[in-house]
């Protein structure tokens, strides 16, 4: 009895909540999330410091009450946060000059455990790149996914139509901890054909040739542009060739036409489109062993993949590559707090930067700028130093000319840069 009484009389120790760590923050205006960002906080007693993108945070945390002042890099005041902690959530108000609105934050749930491999069986395929689509699977940075895609017409490896045409996508995959301002990395470790048939267009799009060529060309209305894929010898040939093309063979080069994330500002685009979020890139360099870098615009990134090609010529000139279904495996990771602004790619041999715009000239300018910035940031080069390297050694590829936007890739051999680090 005495022992029980001693236990009952022990004092209750209250452990203070801790706001230290990584938080995913949302600014809320008129009931709508206006912007999202990652916040890093560190508590030392009641004093709290931290960062919100480029903003510096200073304040206090007492009980459950958090007060923070945000200052810009130039030292000017950005605004003040006032909030209450409840479990893994903080909510309150922001004052910015005469403006007042709400904010909320949730503790970053990304785990630091061992990477996992997920085998994902798609049930539904989507024809929009959009942050409004519910995640098909939630994964952590470092995780890998084994899955498959249907072809651009929605047909799977068994010849069964699973979706309407127009590049139906597998996913989207929600990456825990991904926030606007980050870069998502997608390394394709396996891109393999899973059937022996493909289809393509048979006429070059008018925008790729001079008007008189297209006007005078005598196209065959019944030309059969179906292909058979020799998976043993890794070649493609027409399924029903005429006499002149009966010996035409071309090596296979499996690639992924679409890889993208949810676009910025809650926008939604059909899967024929491409832009800063990636999308219908149709770049033949997106194949096994290549890493794709995509800027993150919405929380969780929401990664889509699809539009498998057995091979494609530069520009996808007939409006289609050799469209087929594909087995894919890829590993996803995050570069936190740094954004590429546009898609980039990396292989064992090349660094590659995208330019996506309304004209080939604008796309070329963007691709060149992206690659110059890449060299200057990662290799600590001056503008003059990066420019002399690009002027001597850069290469261009025309990835896409048939979709709503033009896509040019600027690339440089990594071997030429090896001595710079």
User: In the prediction, which pLDDT does 419 show?
Assistant: 86
Mean pLDDT to the nearest integer, 343-367: 97
Query: How long is the chain?
Result: 421
Q: How many CB atoms lie within 10 A of CB 173?
A: 26
CATH number of 117-340: 2.60.120.580
The Cα–Cα gap between 64 and 243 comes to 80
348-421: CATH, from 3.40.50.300, 3.30.460.10, 3.40.50.620, 3.10.28.20: 3.10.28.20
Domain ranges of the chain: 21-107, 117-340, 348-421
Mean pLDDT to the nearest integer, 185-212: 95
What's the topology of domain 21-107?
Answer: Lipocalin (2.40.128)
Report pLDDT digits (tens) over 62-85. Answer: 999 999 999 999 999 999 999 999
The Cα–Cα gap between 308 and 198 comes to 10
DSSP 241: -
User: In the prediction, which pLDDT does 112 show?
Assistant: 65
User: In the prediction, which pLDDT does 404 show?
Assistant: 86
Pair 405, 274: CB distance under 8 Å: yes
User: In the prediction, which pLDDT does 160 show?
Assistant: 97
For residue 308, give the nearest of 215, 158, 192, 229 by alpha carbon. Answer: 192
Percent with pLDDT over 90 in the chain: 86
Report pLDDT digits (tens) over 82-114. Answer: 999 999 999 999 999 999 999 999 998 776 678
DSSP 349: S
- pLDDT above 60 (res 345): yes
User: In the prediction, which pLDDT does 54 show?
Assistant: 87
The Cα–Cα gap between 54 and 265 comes to 20
User: In the prediction, which pLDDT does 3 show?
Assistant: 42
DSSP 142: T
The dihedrals phi and psi of 110, each to the nearest 5 degrees, come to: -65, 130
Least confident of 3-17, 204-218, 384-398: 3-17
Residues with Cβ within 8 Å of 23's Cβ and at least 6 positions away in sequence, in order, are: 38, 39, 40, 41, 90, 105, 106, 107, 108
The Cα–Cα gap between 34 and 291 comes to 31
- Pairing of the two strands 169-175 and 137-139: parallel
* Residue 107 burial (10 A CB sphere; 0-12, 13-18, 19+): middle
Mean pLDDT of the chain: 93
Mean pLDDT to the nearest integer, 165-171: 97
For residue 174, give the nearest of 217, 122, 139, 216 by alpha carbon. Answer: 139
DSSP string, 387-401: HHHHHHH-EEEEEES
Pair 177, 135: CB distance under 8 Å: no
- pLDDT above 60 (res 161): yes
User: In the prediction, which pLDDT does 111 show?
Assistant: 65
The Cα–Cα gap between 63 and 61 comes to 7
Mean pLDDT to the nearest integer, 365-393: 96
Q: Does residue 70 come out as left (phi exceeding 0), alpha (psi in the -120 to 50 range) or beta?
A: beta
- Pairing of the two strands 169-175 and 128-130: unpaired
Mean pLDDT to the nearest integer, 52-60: 93
Report pLDDT digits (tens) over 8-50. Answer: 444 443 345 789 999 999 999 998 888 889 999 999 999 999 9
User: In the prediction, which pLDDT does 192 show?
Assistant: 97
The Cα–Cα gap between 121 and 151 comes to 15
Please name the residue that has the structure tokens 């005495």.
2
Show the tokens assigned to 110: 């990304």
Q: Return the SS3 of 367.
A: helix
């Amino acid at each position: 009895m005495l022992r029980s009484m001693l236990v009952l009389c022990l004092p209750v120790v209250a452990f203070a909540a801790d706001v230290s760590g990584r938080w995913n923050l949302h600014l809320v205006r008129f009931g709508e999330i206006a912007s999202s960002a990652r916040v890093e906080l560190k508590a030392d007693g009641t004093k709290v410091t931290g960062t919100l993108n480029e903003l510096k945070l200073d304040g206090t945390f007492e009980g459950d009450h958090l007060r923070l002042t945000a200052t810009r890099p130039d030292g000017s005041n950005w605004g003040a946060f006032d909030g209450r902690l409840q479990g893994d959530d903080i909510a309150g108000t922001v004052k910015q000059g005469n403006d007042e609105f709400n904010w909320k934050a949730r503790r970053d749930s990304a785990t630091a455990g061992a990477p996992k491999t997920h085998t994902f069986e798609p049930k539904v395929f989507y024809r929009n790149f959009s942050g409004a689509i519910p995640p098909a699977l939630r994964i952590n940075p470092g995780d890998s996914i084994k899955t498959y895609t249907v072809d651009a017409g929605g047909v799977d490896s068994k010849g069964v139509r699973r979706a309407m045409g127009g590049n139906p996508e597998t996913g989207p995959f929600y990456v825990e901890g991904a926030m606007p301002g980050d870069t998502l990395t997608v390394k394709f470790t396996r891109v393999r054909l899973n059937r022996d048939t493909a289809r393509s267009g048979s006429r070059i799009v008018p925008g790729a040739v001079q008007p008189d060529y297209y006007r005078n060309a005598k196209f065959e209305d019944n030309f059969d542009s179906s292909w058979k894929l020799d998976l043993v010898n890794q070649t493609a040939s027409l399924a029903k060739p005429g006499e002149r093309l009966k010996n035409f063979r071309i090596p296979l080069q499996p690639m992924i036409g679409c890889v993208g994330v949810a676009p910025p500002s809650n926008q939604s685009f059909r899967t024929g489109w491409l832009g800063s979020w990636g999308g219908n890139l149709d770049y033949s360099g997106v194949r096994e062993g290549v890493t794709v870098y995509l800027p993150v615009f919405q929380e969780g990134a929401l990664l889509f993949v699809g539009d498998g090609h057995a091979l494609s010529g530069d520009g996808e000139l007939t409006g289609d590559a050799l469209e087929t279904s594909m087995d894919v495996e890829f590993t996803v990771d995050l570069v936190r707090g740094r954004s590429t602004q546009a898609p980039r790619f990396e292989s064992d041999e090349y660094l590659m930067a995208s330019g996506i715009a309304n004209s080939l000239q604008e796309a070329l300018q963007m691709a060149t700028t992206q690659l110059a910035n890449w060299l200057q940031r990662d290799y600590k080069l001056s503008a003059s130093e990066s420019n002399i390297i690009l002027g001597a050694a850069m290469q261009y590829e025309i990835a896409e000319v048939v979709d709503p936007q033009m896509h040019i890739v600027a690339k440089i051999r990594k071997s030429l840069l090896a001595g710079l680090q």
